[in-house]
Amino acid sequence: CSWMVYLVMTLVGSAVLGYVLLRLLVERARTLVNAAFVFNFALMLVSAVAASAVPPMAVFYVLLAGLWLLVYWMWRDKLELVARLFSVSAQGLKCNPHLVTMVLGVKSMLLAAAVPLVAGMAMAYQNGAVVQNGIQKGDVCYSEEGSPVPCCAWQTDRWVQPYLSFALLGGLWTTKLAFEVRIYTISGAVAQWYFAPAGASTRDTTLRALRHALTASFGTLCLSSLVLTAVEVARSVSKRARRDHRNILMCLVACVLECIYQLIEFVTQFATIMAAITGLSFCGAAREVTDLLKRNFLSSYAVWWMPAFVLNSLVFSSSLAGASVVGFVYYAQALATKSATPGWEAVMVGLMAMVVLLVVLAFFATIILDIVNVVYVCYAMDKDSNSVTRTEVHEVFVLLPVSAGAAVQNPDGDYQYAAPIPGSMTNLTSTPPPQGYTAP
């Protein structure tokens, strides 16, 4: 089918586009971020023109475009900071290009593990028998509530339901473990690049980090993924309870629990990063990274949502632009071949192309955001040891929103409230890399 050809071409093109975006993040991050905001602004204006037949909708899009322009103007300094943040973080990926290969390999292994799991669940479900369903009255069967139901139903053996539950739990745990392996390997490779002496080679950093993830730190990753699995199960139970009990109290409880779940996920992610850098156990890494951020006035980074927002906006804009091109090209071909429904076919192909683009570009965006977090922890470790390993990183991260001050311990054991001194980083010197990795 011709639409399959377009999807395959979109898949290849999205990989190329992802590579181009990564290169631009390194060399032209500011231009790329500004282009994403301009594209979204233009999209809103085009939507207003397209909705001109419905005045209220057109006015809504115009107001939305005006609000977007106002936000862009108010955030122009922060957007400049985000662009510089992406640029210095993308250097870590540039020096460790095999991180992309590693992530693809981990996802492929996860897919390979899912095949026998799904096959086993399908085979288990076939163990059972056909039984009578409901109460039969004549040729019709009724449920206990009195509504008509099929007279026959498939009833599995007693062991099937526990097996399916166990298999689903195991599949979820395996998925979370794959994600933790990804974060650990990215963290280890980027940390080796960050703390390496100037001019040192970064060869085999990804392979070394992956080997540590699958050997010495595998138990740590199993525990961290188990924590994430428990959070996911608890979140599912909370959502089901809120659906079944629609009242204000349950909504409030669910909101509070969701905040707790997100906090646990955040601490777990940074604990994995710290474990990759230092080789600590999961609990030790969680304590260490929490204390590290508190000691260095960096706790408010947890609520700074702008890097993810800007990068996701960039992914959406690029995906929409690429899908529009695919849709228009397919529409032109459909008209040339005198298709019966060229418009409908073009819309469907464009939507499928956008899904492909979103998935592929989100893959690259996730790697960049993971690297941002890793470089952030490395920067915090620099501050904690009163050193500057990479000046270009400090020049950017020192501008991030931070807490106004923090409690510090004096030599006599007492605590005082302290605040960072502007320009203090100029007197810092470089120190050797932390324990956990030898210099590459």
Q: Please spell the DSSP secondary structure of 234-254, one letter per residue.
A: HHHHHHHHHHHS-SHHHHHHH
87 occurs within a structural domain? no
Under a CB-based contact definition with an 8 Å cutoff, are residues 93 and 367 in contact?
Answer: yes
Q: Which residues of 209-223 are buried (b: 16+ CB within 10 A; e: fewer)?
A: bbebbeeebeebbeb
370 in a structural domain:
yes
Residue 327 inside a domain? The answer is yes
Instruction: Please count the helices (runs of H) and the strands (runs of E) in the chain.
Output: 13, 7
In a domain, 84, yes or no: no
Question: For the segment 108-143, what is each residue's pLDDT rounded down to a tens digit?
Answer: 999 999 999 999 999 998 998 888 877 777 778 877
Whether 291 maps to a domain, the answer reads: yes
Which is more confident, 3 or 205?
205
* Dihedral, CA of residue 141, residue 147, residue 150 and residue 151, to nearest 10: -20
Q: pLDDT, tens digit, for every residue of 320-377?
A: 888 888 888 888 888 887 777 777 888 888 889 889 999 999 988 899 889 988 998 8
Domain span holding position 175 = 97-122+161-427
Q: How confident is the model at residue 11 (pLDDT cuts 50, 70, 90)?
A: confident
pLDDT of residue 192: 92
Question: Looking at the domain assignment, is residue 302 inside a domain?
Answer: yes
Q: How many angstroms separate the Cα of 42 from the Cα of each of 33, 63, 335? A: 15, 13, 28
Which residue, 282, 353, 318, 370, is CA-closest to 103?
A: 370
Model's pTM, two decimal places?
0.81
Could you give the number of structural domains in the chain? Answer: 1
Three-class SS state of 134: coil
Assess if residue 110 is contained within a domain: yes
Residue linked to tokens 């992309």: 100
Neighbours of 164 (CB within 10 A): 15
Dist. CA 234–CA 131, nearest whole Å: 34
Identify whether the C-beta of residue 271 lies closer than 8 Å to the C-beta of residue 289.
yes
Domain presence at residue 436: no
Nearest to 287 by CA among 309, 316, 267: 267
Instruction: State the virtual CA torsion across 318, 320, 321, 326 in degrees, nearest 10.
Output: 120
CA pair distance 110, 197, nearest whole angstrom? 35
Length of the chain: 440
Contact 152, 130 (CB under 8 A): yes
